Amino acid sequence: MNAPILSVRSPTAIARAVELLQAGQIIIIPTDTIYGIAVLPDHTEAIAHLYEIRNREPEPASPFLMAGAQYMDVLARPTRTAQRLARSFWPGLLTLILPPNPGLSPALRTLPVALRAPNFPLLLPLFEAVGGFLFATGAACRGEGPAITAREAAALFGDDVGLILDGGRAPFGIPSTIVDCIPDPPTIQRRGVIPEEKIWEAAGIAPPREVK
């Protein structure tokens, strides 16, 4: 049975999403980059199932989407460089990898965390209702491109999730830029829309020299 597709603009849909998340179910959410697949971070069985239905190995860093930069301290131990980058690019198209906050549950603090605050105001009511953040990664399966519409997400995961929130076509349609802020200097782990020179400028560091 395919999951229902409801508009993210609907308060009823948000209430239903919260109900399902609290019951340990998986939902699909729209963002500014691609659609995401999300659970509450304290539901470890749901996290394991999330990776199972994506048919992918877990990421090397636990992925979170947040309402805003104010939740970075809750989930991570921010570096000075990360704070500079967050001020420049959040909300938006940048994911930052950081050491986990020691206060996270043991299951989550075994890995670094990958944090992003999407520039998608329609998600804010959902974030506010669940405490400000979700464990969420891209709605993509191995061998398939990422979902950039609710219908594409339904084709990939409609039989495995409880609800799909429809926010229209994802504005950018490609995953975010990822910067690993754990090493000094930081490294770009995945290139995206943000030009590299803008990242180094915002971080206040010289760009790495190319090896010839």
Domains of the chain plus CATH, in order, are: 5-203 (3.90.870.10)
Say how many CA atoms lie within 13 Å of 15 toward its Cβ. Answer: 3
Contact 39, 157 (CB under 8 A): no
Give the number of residues written for the chain: 212
Q: Quote the tokens at residue 114.
A: 């990958």
Quote the CA–CA distance of 88 and 86 in Å, as a whole number.
5
Owner of token pair 């969420």: 136
Of the two residues 142 and 8, the one the predictor is more confident about is 8
Tell me the per-residue pLDDT of 157-212, one tens digit each, with 9 for 90 and over.
999 999 999 999 999 999 999 999 999 999 999 999 999 999 999 999 888 776 45
Q: Quote the tokens at residue 27.
A: 């939902």
The confidence band for 96, taking pLDDT boundaries of 50, 70 and 90, is very high
User: Which pLDDT value is given to residue 55?
Assistant: 87
**What does the mean pLDDT of the chain come to?**
94
Contact 104, 77 (CB under 8 A): no
Quote the CA–CA distance of 76 and 14 in Å, as a whole number.
27
Direct distance between the N- and C-terminal alpha carbons of the chain, in angstroms, rounded to an integer: 55
Prior bond of 185 cis (ω within 30°): yes
pLDDT at 133 > cutoff 60: yes
Tell me which residue of 122, 163, 101 sits closest to 32, measured CA to CA: 122
Q: Quote the tokens at residue 135.
A: 């464990």
Contact 90, 64 (CB under 8 A): no
- pTM for the whole structure: 0.94
3-state SS assignment for residue 129 = helix
The DSSP symbol for 131 reads T
**Average pLDDT value for residue range 19-36:** 98
**Average pLDDT value for residue range 149-155:** 96
Say how many CA atoms lie within 13 Å of 118 toward its Cβ. Answer: 30
Sorted by sequence, the CB contacts under 8 Å of residue 38 that are 6+ apart come out as 21, 26, 27, 28, 29, 65, 134, 135, 136
Quote the CA–CA distance of 50 and 38 in Å, as a whole number.
8
